[in-house]
């Protein structure tokens, strides 16, 4: 009975002694330098990355940049002034212009083609009134409307022109000559130019024709513009 009471405490003491022995064996030797050294507090500062500044945005209230300086003005050399003498306007007194009313005996020509050969009274085969004419009337296949004088159209002048001309075998008109006109000095040129463009039926020989051309103010509406 006494053995059971002594054995557990003895075993506990032995185990405690072994534990202390092992702790002493593994403990490193301690010297004066092995004392705990207290270091001063060191503050660690972390560097923050640098941020790029945002681009400056032009505010609406910002003043616009000043305009560029103007280039220097070019100097123009002074030119000598030239005095221009003033000319006095001289009034011209122009009297009424008289139109010729008698065309017999003149030598009016319309061109080098010989469409108008002169006046009958001057050797064209008859007198100034057409007496002594031996030709015969023919009916043209195509006629050209006379170009009425503008001033005659405005005054509503009516008249007639009598001519004599030669019809070639081809039917074309040549050698137009004036016999008479009423009124004179108004429609002669227009009638001759018109007759020179007439076309007749072709024939085996040339023929001489007498024709009266009526000049009506109503034809003014067909003038060439």
Q: Per-residue pLDDT for the chain (225 aa), expressed as one digit of tens each?
A: 677 777 888 888 898 889 888 888 887 766 555 555 665 666 766 767 677 666 655 555 556 777 777 666 666 656 666 565 555 544 444 444 333 333 333 334 343 333 333 333 333 333 333 344 455 557 888 888 888 898 989 999 999 999 999 999 999 999 999 999 998 998 999 999 999 999 999 889 999 999 999 998 888 888 876
CATH number of the domain to which 177 belongs: 3.30.2420.10
- Is there a domain that residue 10 lies in? no
Distance between CA atoms of residues 124 and 117, nearest Å: 8
- Is there a domain that residue 30 lies in? no
- Is there a domain that residue 216 lies in? yes
pTM above 0.75, yes or no: no
DSSP state of 142: B
Strand partners, 165: 209
DSSP 185-220: TTSHHHHHHHHTT-B----SS-EEEEEEEEE-GGGG
């Amino acid at each position: 009975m006494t053995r059971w009471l002594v054995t557990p405490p003895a075993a506990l003491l032995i185990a405690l002694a072994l534990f202390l022995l092992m702790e002493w064996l593994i403990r490193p030797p301690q010297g004066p330098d092995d004392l705990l050294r207290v270091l001063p507090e060191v503050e660690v500062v972390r560097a923050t990355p640098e941020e790029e500044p945002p681009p400056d945005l032009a505010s609406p209230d910002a003043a616009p940049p000043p305009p560029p300086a103007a280039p220097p003005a070019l100097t123009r050399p002074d030119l000598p002034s030239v005095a221009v003498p003033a000319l006095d306007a001289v009034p011209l007194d122009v009297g009424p212009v008289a139109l010729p009313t008698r065309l017999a005996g003149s030598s009016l020509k319309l061109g080098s083609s010989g469409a108008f050969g002169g006046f009958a009274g001057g050797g064209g085969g008859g007198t100034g009134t057409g007496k002594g004419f031996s030709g015969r009337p023919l009916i043209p296949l195509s006629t050209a409307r006379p170009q009425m004088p503008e001033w005659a159209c405005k005054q509503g002048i009516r008249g007639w022109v009598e001519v004599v001309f030669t019809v070639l075998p081809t039917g074309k008109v040549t050698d137009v000559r004036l016999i008479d006109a009423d009124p004179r000095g108004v429609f002669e040129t227009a009638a001759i130019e018109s007759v020179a463009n007439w076309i007749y039926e072709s024939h085996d020989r040339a023929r001489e024709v007498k024709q009266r051309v009526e000049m009506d103010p109503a034809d003014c509406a067909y003038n060439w513009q």
